[in-house]
């Protein structure tokens, strides 16, 4: 059966000049669809999927290859061939390709979409019942060669090298899917040592394990090439087998002569099939842009689409943005921010955007004194310049009570009080695993565009349209409560925290730095003395050479550049040489010095002499917040030096800091979700959960426990939350894997509801493709459906971890919103200034500290009703350490 393609209208925006169709194509591309599709599926991670969980690794890789061809060669006459049988080879040799299993389930789901994808590029699909794709390609290549049409065969199968001839080249895929190498006749000779016409003879001798072609035992590539060069062809080799001096090779050639002939027959491509295609009538045509974009959006192929448009854009550098299928126009006028009040319809939603000249195009709402604003309401768009510190206040007054829409509203100096939708936050909730959420990309994927040339006004129009597209999706996935009650109000809270900042005692920090660097220098000399030479301690390669080659210490994990010297490896070999502890201490000192002692003073604002971090709300798939410039999430609390650094964060004169920290929130969430009564009872009694856990699973009195047993129990407790395996637990505790597995087994036996929760969560996530937190946050887990065992294990850990850690993230976010709201309502001056893990840090006048503490603690405890209930530890002090 022959399969053709639908008509392909002009893709107007590609602007690739195509002359009037000649009598025959300038070059014919013949693509082995099966070869490329299989290579794509097996080369790319099976975790690649759409936001709804549909697997797309094969589609992504296949599309990427077609994009490569189109962008590098332009529109070409192209035919994609597909297998529809084995070309009679199974009748010749029943074991031909017998080792190949049926398509994996994830591949089967994608397979029906590959031929339509080809058609969207404007290419033609072809297949012939009973025959393989490479025989169809060989037939068409032979016809094209006879017609004087140059041919490029695109395939991952090396047996296709036999087609190389004058006018026929092979584009062979190598590593990955888009890395290729083109071969002509000399290229084949250089690679294999034989000309293309001897490739079937070559495979006849050496066989082909990928197709289960037997060949002759003991003969590989080099031997096969040498034999063919010595005796001309396969029959020449077999006729002279008795003259070969190597006894085993001579015996194998004589004994397996018929196998060699059959193998050559299997490897020889048919060039005489009745394929109903006139190769001279196949011409390159520009793809149907609308259909191609629709396909790429359906499968969320962002990178291939981006590469295509970058390479083959419309050539209009001044265009404000690509056109789209759904173009939105507007009556544009210029004015001042105050004119926003006049935008129609009165009382309706108003979309806002701003552009700063010194920032990238996708950085909206900036900090400079002068910026260009845009707004959109109904059919009216407004654009103009706004400058000076009065901008935000004027903006708020002009908006009034109208619901405000924005993309990344936190970047405003003053987030609108009436913020009703943030397209950045909505996109994050819909696709939490996405790398970034630029407005242009989000709207382009949905086919939304505008012909308004003013960039800021165009942004506002797109925000308005994107909001309308996102709200139904949020509702459909039951994400609106999380969006409206937690994430959206959190935007204002985070912006206020960023503006407030923290005070840093730079003199105390400098004193600590001097002492730390003196100790680090002394340690460096001691390390050199112990190892007998000077080297760069911070270089993993040089350190590895010293430890494992010179000192002969135990080698553990091997990486790309040598044996690992990471923290866990050093911990494992700590007892083998006294230098290890000194290296560990040196690393701690130098890391803290470079990350905090040196960096923090440079980030202090000259205006208010405070440190202002940036909180990232749309980074972690679990919902956790992070901070950058500086990152304050990783300041250690358990080491003496880490505690000293925390003591450098101080309150302003007359103020104090209040630290409110959840007590083991993730384990309480686990007890609640799993319904684990044993764990609940431990919390109800107010016992140390790690001691009680160790006593329960070891069956001994808590008073008889040593520190090591409690440490193991603590690691298992959190290991359950983070999906730690027996291997991981053994690695961290430096115990045999069998002991670690026994500890985990005892834990699960002692907490059967936790074991049932883990099993049920994984089963439901495998079936649904995603997990949800108690507050409805959703995360796709495509790894659970992978063939690879390690990938599935990762998926299981992610599924369990996301439910627990994601719920804890939702709790801390809601607590921030509620605490901030309560403080404002009370009239107190205390304000939230920092969130780190499960801890909130507040600053305010000393005289209202106890009142503020008593106000925010209940807000945190009541953020989510759990059994066992949430518990918060709170303290007050002049610095972060004392408050903690």
pLDDT digits (tens, 9 = 90+) for 287-310: 777 788 888 888 988 888 878 777
For the cut 70, the answer to whether the pLDDT of residue 704 exceeds it is yes
Question: Is 61 part of a structural domain of the chain?
Answer: yes
Range picked from 363-367, 659-663, 705-709, 794-798 for highest mean pLDDT: 659-663
For the chain, what percent of residues have pLDDT higher than 70? 92
CA-nearest of 461, 471, 457, 378 to 425 is 471
Q: Same structural domain for residues 396 and 491?
A: no
484 and 440 in one domain? no
Q: Do residues 410 and 349 share a domain?
A: yes
Helix (H, G, I), strand (E, B) or coil at 28: strand
d(CA 535, CA 551) in angstroms, rounded, equals 14
Q: What is the pLDDT of residue 600?
A: 93
Q: Are 624 and 490 in contact (CB under 8 A)?
A: no
Selection from 44-58, 389-403, 665-679 with the highest mean pLDDT: 665-679
Distance between CA atoms of residues 351 and 457, nearest Å: 9
CB atoms within 10 A of CB 196: 22
More confident residue, 431 or 633: 431
What are the backbone angles phi and psi of residue 835, rounded to the nearest 5°? -125, 130
Tell whether 303 is covered by a domain.
Answer: no
Supply the pLDDT for residue 561.
66
Number of domains in the chain: 3
Q: 315 and 109 in contact (C-beta within 8 Å)?
A: no
Q: Name the band, by pLDDT with cuts 50, 70 and 90, for residue 359.
A: very low
Q: What is the pLDDT of residue 364?
A: 40
Alpha-carbon distance of 277 to 44, in angstroms, equals: 33
- Given a contact cutoff of 8 angstroms between Cβ atoms, the answer to whether 144 and 28 are in contact is yes
pLDDT of residue 736: 84
Which one has a higher pLDDT value, 440 or 9? Answer: 440
Region for 640 from its dihedrals, namely left if φ exceeds 0, alpha if ψ lies in -120 to 50, beta otherwise = alpha
Three-state SS sequence of 204-233 = HHHCEHHHCECCCCCCCHHHHHHHHHHHCC
What per-residue confidence (pLDDT) applies to 212?
A: 83
| 3-state class (DSSP) for residue 461 | helix
Q: What is the CATH number of the domain that holds 182?
A: 3.40.50.1010
Q: What's the pLDDT at 722?
A: 73
Q: Are residues 160 and 59 in the same domain?
A: yes
**pLDDT tens for residues 713-744?**
787 777 777 777 778 777 777 778 888 888 88
Distance, in Å, from the CA atom of 668 to the CA atom of 663, rounded to the nearest integer, reads 9
561 in a domain, yes or no?
Answer: no
> Do both 492 and 388 map to the same domain?
no
For residue 675, the model assigns a pLDDT of: 95
Same domain? For 363 and 431 the reply is yes
CATH number at residue 491: 3.30.70.370
Residues 133, 91 within the same domain? yes
The string of pLDDT tens digits covering residues 652-671 is 999 999 999 999 999 999 99
Is the domain of 275 the same as that of 130? Answer: yes
Structural domain span for residue 182: 12-17+25-194+270-290
- Please indicate, yes or no, whether residues 282 and 370 belong to a single structural domain of this protein: no
- pLDDT tens per residue, range 524-568: 999 999 999 999 999 988 999 999 989 988 887 776 667 888 888
How many CA atoms are closer than 13 Å to the CA of 79, on its beta-carbon side?
Answer: 32
483, 468: one domain = no
* pLDDT for 672 beyond 90: yes
Residue 314 binned pLDDT confidence (cut-offs 50, 70, 90): low
Lowest model confidence (mean pLDDT) among 611-625, 729-743, 793-807: 729-743
Q: Is residue 178 part of a domain?
A: yes
Where would I find the beta strands (DSSP E) of 1-131? 28-32, 77-81, 124-126
CB 328 within 8 A of CB 457: no
Report the percent of the chain where pLDDT is more than 90: 52
Q: Tell me if 841 is assigned to some domain.
A: yes
pLDDT of residue 774: 96
- Same domain? For 403 and 467 the reply is yes
Q: Residue 355 forms beta bridges with which residues?
A: 364, 372
Whether residue 484 has a cis bond before it, omega within 30° of 0? no
Q: Kindly state whether residue 149 falls inside one of the protein's structural domains.
A: yes
For residue 827, being part of any structural domain is answered with: yes
pLDDT tens-digit series, residues 157-215: 888 999 999 999 999 987 666 788 899 999 999 999 999 999 999 999 998 888 888 99
Secondary structure class of 147 (helix, strand, coil): coil
C-alpha of 91 from chain center: 46
Q: What does the alpha-carbon distance between residue 628 and residue 636 come to, in Å, rounded to a whole number?
A: 16
Is the Cα torsion angle 390, 391, 393, 394 positive or negative in sign?
positive
Helices (H), 11-79: 33-43, 57-73
**Residue 328, domain member (yes or no):** yes
Q: Say which CATH number the domain at 344 has.
A: 3.30.420.10
Which single residue is written with the structure tokens 């925000």? 463
The yes-or-no verdict on residue 772 having pLDDT over 70 is yes
Q: Which residue has the higher pLDDT, 873 or 722?
A: 873
Q: Give the confidence band of 388 by pLDDT, cuts at 50, 70, 90.
A: low
- Residue 736: left if φ>0, alpha if ψ -120 to 50, beta else—which one? beta
Give burial (CB, 10 Å; 0-12/13-18/19+) of 881. buried
Q: State the DSSP code for 55.
A: B
Considering the domain architecture, whether residues 281 and 371 belong to the same structural domain is answered as no
pLDDT score of 814: 97
- Pick the last residue of a domain from 443, 477, 511: 477
**pLDDT reported for residue 70:** 87
pLDDT at 483 over 80: yes
């Amino acid at each position: 059966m022959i399969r053709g393609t639908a008509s392909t209208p002009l893709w107007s925006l590609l602007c690739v000049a195509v002359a009037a169709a000649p009598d025959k194509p300038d070059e014919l591309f013949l693509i082995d669809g099966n070869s490329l599709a299989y290579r794509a599926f097996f080369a790319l991670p099976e975790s690649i999927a759409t936001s709804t969980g549909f697997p797309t690794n094969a589609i992504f890789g296949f599309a990427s290859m077609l994009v490569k061809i189109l962008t590098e060669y332009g529109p070409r006459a192209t035919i994609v061939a597909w297998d529809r049988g084995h070309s009679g080879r199974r009748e010749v040799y029943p074991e031909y390709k017998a080792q190949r299993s049926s398509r994996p389930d994830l591949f089967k789901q994608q397979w029906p979409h590959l031929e339509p994808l080809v058609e969207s590029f404007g290419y033609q699909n072809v297949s012939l019942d009973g025959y393989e794709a490479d025989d169809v390609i060989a037939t068409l290549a032979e016809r094209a060669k006879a017609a004087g049409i140059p041919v490029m065969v695109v395939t991952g199968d090396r047996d296709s090298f036999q087609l190389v001839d004058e006018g026929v080249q092979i584009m062979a895929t190598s590593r990955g899917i888009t890395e290729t190498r083109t071969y002509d006749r000399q290229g084949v000779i250089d690679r294999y040592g034989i000309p293309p016409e001897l490739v079937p003879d070559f495979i006849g001798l050496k066989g082909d394990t990928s197709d289960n072609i037997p060949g002759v035992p003991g003969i590989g590539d080099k031997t096969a090439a040498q034999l063919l060069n010595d005796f001309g062809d396969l029959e020449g080799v077999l006729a002279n087998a008795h003259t070969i001096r190597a006894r085993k090779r001579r015996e194998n050639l004589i004994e397996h002569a018929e196998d060699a002939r059959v193998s050559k027959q299997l490897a020889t491509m048919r060039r005489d099939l009745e394929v109903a295609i006139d190769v001279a009538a196949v011409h390159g045509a520009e793809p149907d842009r609308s259909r191609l974009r629709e396909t790429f959006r359906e499968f969320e192929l962002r990178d291939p689409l981006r590469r295509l448009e970058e390479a083959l854009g419309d050539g209009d550098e001044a265009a404000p943005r690509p056109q789209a299928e759904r173009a939105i126009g507007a009556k544009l006028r210029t004015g001042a921010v105050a004119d926003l009040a006049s935008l129609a319809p009165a009382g309706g939603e108003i979309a806002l955007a701003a552009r700063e000249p010194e920032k990238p195009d996708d950085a909206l709402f900036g900090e400079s004194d002068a910026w260009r604003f845009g707004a959109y309401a109904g059919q009216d768009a407004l654009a103009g310049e706004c400058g000076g510190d009065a901008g935000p206040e004027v903006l708020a007054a002009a908006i009034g009570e109208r619901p405000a829409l924005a993309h990344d509203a936190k970047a405003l100096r003053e987030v609108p009080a009436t913020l009703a939708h943030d397209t950045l936050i909505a996109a994050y909730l819909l696709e939490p695993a996405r790398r970034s959420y630029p407005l242009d990309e989000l709207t382009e994927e949905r086919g939304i565009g505008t012909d308004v040339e003013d960039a800021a006004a165009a942004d506002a129009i797109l925000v308005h349209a994107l909001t309308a597209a996102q709200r139904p999706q949020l509702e459909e996935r039951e994400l609106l409560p999380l969006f409206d009650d937690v994430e959206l109000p959190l935007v204002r809270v985070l912006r206020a925290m960023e503006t407030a900042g923290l005070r840093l005692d730079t003199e105390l920090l400098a004193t600590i730095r001097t002492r730390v660097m003196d100790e680090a220098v002394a340690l460096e000399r001691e390390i050199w003395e112990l190892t007998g030479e000077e080297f760069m301690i911070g270089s993993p390669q040089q350190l590895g050479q010293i430890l494992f080659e010179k000192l002969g210490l135990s080698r553990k994990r091997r990486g790309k550049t040598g044996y690992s010297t990471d923290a866990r490896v050093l911990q494992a070999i700590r007892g083998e040489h006294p230098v290890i502890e000194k290296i560990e201490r040196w690393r701690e000192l130098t890391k803290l010095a470079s990350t905090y002692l040196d960096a923090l003073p440079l980030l202090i604002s000259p205006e208010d002499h405070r440190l202002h971090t940036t909180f990232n709300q749309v980074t972690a798939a679990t919902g956790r917040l992070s901070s950058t410039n500086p990152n304050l999430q990783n300041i250690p609390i358990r080491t003496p030096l880490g505690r000293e650094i925390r003591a450098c964060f101080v309150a302003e004169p007359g103020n104090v800091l209040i630290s409110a920290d959840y007590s083991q929130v993730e384990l309480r969430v686990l007890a609640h979700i799993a319904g684990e009564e044993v764990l609940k009872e431990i919390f109800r009694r107010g016992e140390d959960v790690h001691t009680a856990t160790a006593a329960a699973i070891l069956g001994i009195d808590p008073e008889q426990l040593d520190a090591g047993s409690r440490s193991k129990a603590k690691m298992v407790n959190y290991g359950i939350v983070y999906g730690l395996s027996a291997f991981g637990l053994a690695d961290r505790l430096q115990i045999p894997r069998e002991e670690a597995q026994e500890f985990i087994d005892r834990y699960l036996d002692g907490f059967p509801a936790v074991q049932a929760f883990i099993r049920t969560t994984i089963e439901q996530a495998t079936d649904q493709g995603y997990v949800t937190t108690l507050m409805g946050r959703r995360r796709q887990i495509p790894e659970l459906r992978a063939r690879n065992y390690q990938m599935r294990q990762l998926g299981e850990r992610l599924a369990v971890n996301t439910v627990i850690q994601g719920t804890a993230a939702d709790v801390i976010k809601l607590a921030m919103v509620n605490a901030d709201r309560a403080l404002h309502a009370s009239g107190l001056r205390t304000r939230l200034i920092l969130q780190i893990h499960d801890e909130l840090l507040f600053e305010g006048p000393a005289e209202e500290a106890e009142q503020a503490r008593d106000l925010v603690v209940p807000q945190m405890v009541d953020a989510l009703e759990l059994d066992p209930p949430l518990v918060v530890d709170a303290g007050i002090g002049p610095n972060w350490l004392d408050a903690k």
